[in-house]
């Protein structure tokens, strides 16, 4: 079954378009957006056996507590809609809006016995659209979005929650989880690929806060995984990428007291970008973990740049740090915005408009400062419509070894996202030019269907171990897709 299933799914996937991308590119330039707190029930622990095999969709529909949406049903177009409109033309066979963990078991059992492609969906932001499988079953976790904060500061978060849900619910209890900026991004995809955000240097990646998870694996079993139970699977869930090993229904995270932060944004004049990058890379490397920053380069003739970020602390010490950056860059910013905020206010500031958008995104990893910063800027000089988002790593991200979790880029200086809404071919060419300068790695949450040597690029030396976990928990390829670790 393994070979035939993978072969069939590969053929289906080969025709799919590859464009996708990220509004994160412009997040610090955008205004705020409110996201309401979710109130759905927490799914009960599984006491239900996996449903028996059912060849037709009506059998699955009858078995579900939630709703099964088929192409002929009203609401099908809305139910299958992902973040990137690029994937609106894809036609999944069914969308299961699951209401419980046992619903997830029934879906996995059905997909396995009926031999249809299946993928979980949380926020629907997968760059190559892997949560929208053509002619397959989407397990939409959106109803499992409840956030429960316990007295010990851990939080149980339903795997369908989006970051806006998470931030609002945690803030109501004075807590926060270091995670990404876009409120509609799903907690699932973000965590399973690592999770980079404005508190990464202070507290680590989102996956570093994970205490345990509840997962339905390919055999339909509902497992509780942690350092003590199924430790191999728990390791793989922390950076091994969404969709590979099973369907997570709930995450339990450590949370931290929500800090007050100071946000900042400095826009530099065109022409100064290599000098600013040269100063920024040393500045961010030597700064305390309280500082997180990104540098966004916009292509053009010449390219321009902006430095933004967050400081865990007050405006006074941050202004001193910013003065140091400006002096080292030798360029005067045309705008300099600094403001103290609660953590929730800061996340709403960074949230942007979060409207759906067509994009293509890919990435490289910057291991260390460049001796010649122009090497990063030159590939977008004179190019149209491409943005480079250089997000700092370091700090607590580097407190772990590359093999401690599946996220391998622990000692790197930054991720470099290459993002476009209009010029995918140019972005791919920039990716390849930067690969020659920075090396061949990339960040799995900016998954690119056309990434050269993608297995090694996304997982480095963790790839063989991830393949072993994949084989162990999904030997028949039930969760197969074009970039499943078993194919790398």
Ligand X SMILES: Cc1cc2nc3c(=O)[nH]c(=O)nc-3n(C[C@H](O)[C@H](O)[C@H](O)COP(=O)(O)OP(=O)(O)OC[C@H]3O[C@@H](n4cnc5c(N)ncnc54)[C@H](O)[C@@H]3O)c2cc1C
Q: Would you say 22 or 297 has its CB closer to ligand X?
A: 22
The residue (of 247 and 424) whose beta carbon lies closer to ligand X is: 247
- Please say whether the beta carbons of 369 and 274 come within 8 A: no
Closest approach, Cβ 320 to ligand X, in A, equals 27
Min dist. Cβ of residue 363 to ligand X (A): 10
Shortest distance in whole angstroms from residue 227 CB to ligand X? 19
**DSSP per residue, 413-454:** SEEEEEEESS-HHHHHHHHHHHHHHH-S---GGG--TT-TTH
- Rank residues 168 and 196 by Cβ distance to ligand X and give the closer one: 196
**How near is the Cβ of 128 to ligand X at its closest, in Å?**
8
Cα 306 to its chain centre, rounded Å, is 23
Minimum distance, C-beta of residue 480 to ligand X, in the bound complex (Å): 11
Give the nearest distance from C-beta 99 to ligand X in angstroms: 15
Q: Which is nearer to ligand X, 195 or 278 (CB)?
A: 195
| 262 backbone dihedrals φ, ψ, rounded to 5° | -120, 125
User: What is the pairing mode between strands 137-140 and 118-121?
Assistant: parallel
| Nearest CB to ligand X, comparing residues 219 and 381 | 219
- Min dist CB 167 to ligand X, Å, is 12
Q: How far is the CB of 376 from ligand X (least distance, A)?
A: 20
- Torsion region of 195: left, alpha or beta (phi above 0 gives left; psi -120 to 50 gives alpha): left
CB 391, min distance to ligand X, A: 8
Q: If you search the block for the tokens 């680590």, which residue do you land on? A: 204
User: 369: closest CA among 416, 303, 414?
Assistant: 414
- Residue 25 or 275 with smaller CB distance to ligand X: 25
Would you give the DSSP letter of residue 61?
A: H
Taking the complex as a whole, the smallest distance from the CB of residue 466 to ligand X amounts, in Å, to 14
Taking the C-alpha atoms of residue 175 and residue 171, their distance in angstroms, rounded to an integer, is 5
Name which of 309, 361, 365 is nearest 339 in CA terms. 309
Distance CA 47, CA 222 (A): 9
141 vs 331, beta carbon nearer ligand X: 141
Q: Which residues bind ligand X (CB under 6 A)?
A: 22-24, 83, 119-127, 130-131, 141, 159, 180-182, 185-186, 188-190, 192-197, 242-243, 247-248, 445
**What long-range pairs does 274-277 form, CB within 8 A, spacing at least 24?**
274/373, 274/374, 274/377, 275/329, 275/330, 275/331, 275/373, 276/305, 276/307, 276/329, 276/331, 277/305, 277/370, 277/373, 277/376, 277/377, 277/390
Nearer to ligand X, 12 or 328 (CB): 12
Strand pairing category for 94-97 and 67-69: antiparallel
- Residue 217 beta carbon to ligand X: minimum distance, rounded to whole angstroms: 11
**Nearer of residues 331 and 485 to ligand X, judged by Cβ:** 485
Nearer to ligand X, 192 or 466 (CB): 192
Closer of 24 and 474 to ligand X (Cβ): 24
Burial class (CB in 10 A: 0-12, 13-18, 19+), 181: buried
Place of tokens 């799903």: 186
Taking residue 99's Cβ as centre, other Cβ atoms within 10 Å add up to 17
The first and second tokens of residue 413, run together, are 């200086």
């Amino acid at each position: 079954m393994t070979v035939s299933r993978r072969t069939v799914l590969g053929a289906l996937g080969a025709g799919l378009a590859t464009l996708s991308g990220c509004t994160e590119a412009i997040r610090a330039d955008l205004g705020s957006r409110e996201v309401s707190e979710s109130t759905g029930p927490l799914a009960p622990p599984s006491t239900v056996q996996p449903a028996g095999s059912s060849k037709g969709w009506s059998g699955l529909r009858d078995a579900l507590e939630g709703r099964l949406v088929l192409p002929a049903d009203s609401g099908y177009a809305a139910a299958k809609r992902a973040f990137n409109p690029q994937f609106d033309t894809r036609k999944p066979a069914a969308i299961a809006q699951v209401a419980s963990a046992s619903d997830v078991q029934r879906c996995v059992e059905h997909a396995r016995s009926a031999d249809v492609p299946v993928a979980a969906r949380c926020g629907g932001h997968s760059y190559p659209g892997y949560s929208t499988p053509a002619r397959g079953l989407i397990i939409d976790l959106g109803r499992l979005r409840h956030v429960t904060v316990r007295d010990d500061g851990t939080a149980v978060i339903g795997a369908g929650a989006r970051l806006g849900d998470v931030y609002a619910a945690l803030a109501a209890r004075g807590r926060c989880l270091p995670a990404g900026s876009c409120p509609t991004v799903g907690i699932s995809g973000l965590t399973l690929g690592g999770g980079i955000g404005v508190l990464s240097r202070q507290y680590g990646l989102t996956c570093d806060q994970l205490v345990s998870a509840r997962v339905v694996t390919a055999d339909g079993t509902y497992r509780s995984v942690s350092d003590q139970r199924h430790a191999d699977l728990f390791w793989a869930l922390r950076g091994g990428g969404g969709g590979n090993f099973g369907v997570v229904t709930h995450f339990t995270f450590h949370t931290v007291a929500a800090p007050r932060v100071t946000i900042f944004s400095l826009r530099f004049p065109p022409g100064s970008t290599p000098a600013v990058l040269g100063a920024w890379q040393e500045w961010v490397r030597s700064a305390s973990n309280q500082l997180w920053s990104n540098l966004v380069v916009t292509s053009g003739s010449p390219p321009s740049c902006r430095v933004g970020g967050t400081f865990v602390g007050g405006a006074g010490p941050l202004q001193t740090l910013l003065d140091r950056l400006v002096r080292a860059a030798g360029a005067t910013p045309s705008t300099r915005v600094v403001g103290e905020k609660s953590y929730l206010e800061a996340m709403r500031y960074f949230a942007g408009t979060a409207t759906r958008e067509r994009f293509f995104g890919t990435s490289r990893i910057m291991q260390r400062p460049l001796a010649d910063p122009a090497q990063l800027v030159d590939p977008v000089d004179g190019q149209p419509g491409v943005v480079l988002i250089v997000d700092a790593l370091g700090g607590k991200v580097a407190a772990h070894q590359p093999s401690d979790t599946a996220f391998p880029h622990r000692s790197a200086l930054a991720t470099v996202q290459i993002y476009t809404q209009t010029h995918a071919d140019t972005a791919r060419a920039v990716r390849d030019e930067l690969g020659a300068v920075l090396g061949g790695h990339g960040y799995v949450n900016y998954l690119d269907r056309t990434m050269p040597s993608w297995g090694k690029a996304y997982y480095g030396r963790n790839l063989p171990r991830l393949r072993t976990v994949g084989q162990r928990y999904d030997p028949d390829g039930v969760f197969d897709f074009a970039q499943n670790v078993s194919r790398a």
